[in-house]
A = this chain, B = another copy of it.
Amino acid sequence: MPSLKWDYSLYLVTDRSYIGVRDLIVCVREAIEGGVSLVQLREKIAPSREFYEMAEKLKSLTSRYNVPLIINDRLDIALAIDADGLHLGQEDLPIAVARKHIGQDKIIGISVSNVAEAIQAEKEGADYLGVGAMYATGTKIDAKLVSLAVLEKIKKAVSIPVVAIGGIKKENAVRTMETGIDGISVVSAILAAQDIEQAARELKKSYQKQTNYTKGAVLKLK
């Protein structure tokens, strides 16, 4: 399982609506320099050719930084650019179909919002889970919110990495990480920031603080 060596700690999901006239490649580079450990390209409007060309450009950026690039929804774009993985929502292709074409060496992540979906996704071969939406957000307006208690239950119910997504920012990052999950996934908390690199760095700091805290707690239990 290639997922074990991945660093899910600060997972950036792109959304061009937050960056205004800024160049996405430049924004993502700043985010990576600030500490983003994984990038998911999400593009819901662009024609396939534009999506593909954007993905190609991002791939050469992320490769330079040794940061994995995951494509949202579109198996064909993931195949076309030889992405590191594919992220599927509950309304996207079934995992089995994606796995058949993308192979065992690539990561498949699944969006889930409850324990049943989490267990099901792991059973079907998901490499990690994106759990959300955690907090109210402009990105997915009608998304039902997942409680921290449910997030913790999901983390305990599966053995694959769990990342929380949806409205995560500096103010709630620590209490989200305290559930024992493997990382936080952010969109606007990084991309809507004036200083993207700094925003990523601050989020990363709250994560690292939390990691130390958790490690301490585990040691104590022994």
Contact = CB atoms under 8 A, between A and B. Distances in A.
A12 B123 CA distance: 40
Given A79-B101, A80-B101, A97-B80, A73 B91 contact: no
Interface residues of A, number: 19
Contacts of A47: 89, 91-92
Contacts of A91: 47-50
A93 B50 contact: no
Nearest to A48: B92
A76 interface: yes
Q: Considering the complex of A and B, which 9 residue pairs feature the smallest CB-CB distances, nearest first?
A: A75-B76, A76-B76, A47-B91, A48-B92, A80-B97, A49-B91, A48-B93, A79-B101, A52-B93
Given A49-B90, A74-B76, A75-B80, 5 more contacts: A47-B89, A49-B92, A49-B94, A52-B94, A52-B97
